[in-house]
Amino acid sequence: MPEITLNKPKKSSGPSAIGKSYLLAYNGVQTLGWTYLLWQSLVYFLNRGTLDAYWNEIKWTLYIFQGGAVLEILHSLIGLVSSGALVVFMQVYSRVFLVFAVLMVVQASTVSPGLPLCILAWSITEIVRYSYYGLNLINAVPQTLTFLRYSTFLILYPLGVTGELLCMYHSLDEIYEKKLYTISFPNEWNFAFDFYYAMYFYMFLYLPIFPYLFGHMLKQRRKVLGSEKKSKCN
């Protein structure tokens, strides 16, 4: 089956010339940004830096380039890329939430050992992903990059999820003590929200969602890398 779909010409003609140059620039900038973040982190820890000052060292790089990922939702909304907006939203959401709703606000999460895990997993994934998208626009993806695009997740995805869960776990006590994002009864609109319990619930959601997304990636991997081998044999 996959061979047939690969041989089919793509239905859409792809983005216009302006759209294409914009996407090239966007993916190029993102590749460089995440490379810089990885570089910053390596230099920091090789210089025997400790966890308590690490966040201040990298936070602006992370704000800019993780925040920049929100543009991807916009890209799919205006039809610049073919992937569905909802799927892109879900992919971008969990990290934007962690960076801007947890790390930016809860000091305890920034000194969690989960943070360097996240940064390591995220930056390598994004360097591979954005350079793949960029080179794909000009049909110049080397085979090694395709292999990396569909292989690094095997290690980096569980690593990243562990990092994310650790950061959230270390934020819990501070959220409880400072009553962060918490609205309590009584109030006129009878609305209550407890971020502490919501966080527990949210972490619990990783349990069904992680295996689902990991399985999805495995399927993609089989489809792309598996069919390549087959077509080489033919």
Show which residues are catalytic: 157, 164
Q: How far is the CB of 1 from other proteins (least distance, A)?
A: 9
Quote the CA–CA distance of 127 and 39 in Å, as a whole number: 12
* Residue that has been written with the tokens 């959220």 in this structure: 175
Q: Amino acid identity of 152?
A: T
Contact characters 190-209, other proteins, x per CB under 8 A: xxx-----------------
Q: Which stretch binds other proteins (CB under 8 A): 9-17, 89-97, 118-126, 189-197?
A: 189-197
Give CA 78 to chain center in angstroms: 21
Q: How far is the CB of 189 from other proteins (least distance, A)?
A: 4
- By the 8 A CB rule, do 150 and 207 touch? no
Which residue, among 149, 147, 146, 144, has the nearest Cα to 129 in the 3D structure? 149
Query: Directed axis angle between helix 17-46 and helix 114-137, to 10°?
Result: 150
Q: Of 189 and 212, which has the nearer Cβ to other proteins?
A: 189
Which residues, numbered 149-188, are part of the site for other proteins (CB under 8 A)?
185-188
Give CA 14 to chain center in angstroms: 24
Quote the CA–CA distance of 131 and 145 in Å, as a whole number: 8
Phi and psi dihedrals of 86, rounded to 5?
-65, -40
Q: How far is the CB of 149 from other proteins (least distance, A)?
A: 27
Kindly determine how many residues on this chain lie close enough to bind other proteins according to the rule CB under 8 A: 8
Q: Of 185 and 212, which has the nearer Cβ to other proteins?
A: 185
Q: Of 39 and 193, which has the nearer Cβ to other proteins?
A: 193
Which residues, numbered 19-78, are part of the site for other proteins (CB under 8 A)?
none
Q: Of 60 and 185, which has the nearer Cβ to other proteins?
A: 185
Q: Of 13 and 187, which has the nearer Cβ to other proteins?
A: 187
Q: How far is the CB of 197 from other proteins (least distance, A)?
A: 12
Query: Directed axis angle between helix 153-178 and helix 195-221, to 10°?
Result: 170
Q: How far is the CB of 167 from other proteins (least distance, A)?
A: 27
Quote the CA–CA distance of 176 and 187 in Å, as a whole number: 20
Contacting residues toward other proteins, per CB under 8 A: 185-192
